[in-house]
Amino acid sequence: MNDHPRIVVLDGHTLNPGDLSWDELAALGECTVHPRTAAADIVARGRDADVLLTNKTPLTAEVIALCPRLRCIGVLATGYNVVNLSAARERGIPVTNVPAYGTASVAQHTIALLLELARRCGDHSAGVRAGKWTASEWCYWDTEQVELDGLVLGIVGAGRIGRAVGELGRAFGMDVRYASRADGRAGLEALFRAADVASLHCPLTAETHHLINSETLGWMKPSAFLLNTSRGPLIDEAALADALNSGRIAGAAVDVLSVEPPPASNPLLTARNCIITPHLAWGTSAARRRLLAIAVENVRSFLAGKPVNVVN
């Protein structure tokens, strides 16, 4: 590697829309940061890069083959499915990711979604501004007000985020229970049947794709809530929309969808009692600062000949 490696960021806007600094990354070499990169421009921008950083811009086998100088790929996220790992491995190119940076932020957002389902603060605030309280008595509520104390919080996945959500749930007096792959189908069914709130915190694999479907939704109580701040394809969205619209479960709140941004045809966009936020659970300024710092350290470690957080 030469003394002035060429570092290219393909889509820096999501991580840093302007409130953070790229200076530490720029200090490591000749650095170019593109806010976004269209598919037609990936090769042109990456062709001369020694280090290529991407968030959601896909690096296919074809792209990697057309970037002869490429020595390292850094993903500005925890998930790395945007990179063809085998193609990188064949070239001896390490692919790094950024684990654990958003645990506290995602757990916080998960509980924020739960509280919104339980109390509907946003809806009631909008109602007050529309004059409903002025025209009402001393107080009013449009939806059932749910107390979390004593309810069963069933968490699928006992990793960092799942454990953090469990700690927050216990602070509200909830009975926190877990299920993981080791518990098998019987353990998952037992969890879903007991849960007043089911929260997904597991990776997306062939085994967990559409983990939430018409059958597993059928295990849940009619009063139950479903939360997903993990991966959109964990849920069969048509099945969930049907369950919500029929009153099979009481509500759902998700921060992720199977296709992002969603097409207007996504059935959850019009489903009853469904709260959707635009994949922002990870996006606090504190979490993004950590992400950027770890990503820079990944590059620094690679240039020093000691790569870290390598996923391939």
Give the pLDDT of residue 1: 55
Give the pLDDT of residue 124: 97
Centre a 10 Å sphere on the Cβ of residue 103 and count the other Cβ atoms it contains.
Answer: 20
Per residue in 288-309, pLDDT tens? 999 999 999 999 999 999 999 9
With cut-offs at 50, 70 and 90, classify the pLDDT of residue 2.
low
Domains and CATH numbers, the chain: 6-101+285-303 (3.40.50.720), 103-276 (3.40.50.720)
Sequence letter at residue 82: V
**Average pLDDT of the residues in 147-153:** 98
Per residue in 43-72, pLDDT tens? 999 999 999 999 999 999 999 999 999 999
Give the pLDDT of residue 60: 98
At 124 the three-state DSSP class reads helix
At 268 the three-state DSSP class reads helix
Cα(175)–Cα(122) distance, rounded to whole angstroms? Answer: 26
Distance from the Cα of residue 132 to its chain's centroid = 36
Q: Which helix (H) or strand (E) element contains residue 128?
A: helix 121-129
**Average pLDDT of the residues in 250-268:** 98
Q: What residues form DSSP beta bridges with 287?
A: none
With cut-offs at 50, 70 and 90, classify the pLDDT of residue 78.
very high
pLDDT higher than 60, residue 104: yes
State the average pLDDT for the chain. 97
Per residue in 127-138, pLDDT tens? 999 999 999 989
Give the pLDDT of residue 282: 97
**Average pLDDT of the residues in 86-97:** 98
**Average pLDDT of the residues in 19-27:** 98
Per residue in 200-258, pLDDT tens? 999 999 999 999 999 999 999 999 999 999 999 999 999 999 999 999 999 999 999 99
pLDDT higher than 60, residue 125: yes
Cα(195)–Cα(152) distance, rounded to whole angstroms? Answer: 5
Handedness of CA 282, 287, 293, 297 (dihedral sign): negative
Q: Which residues of 60-97 are buried (b: 16+ CB within 10 A; e: fewer)?
A: eeebbeebeebbbbbbbbbebebbbbebbeebebbbbb
The catalytic site residues sit at 231, 260, 279
Give the pLDDT of residue 181: 83
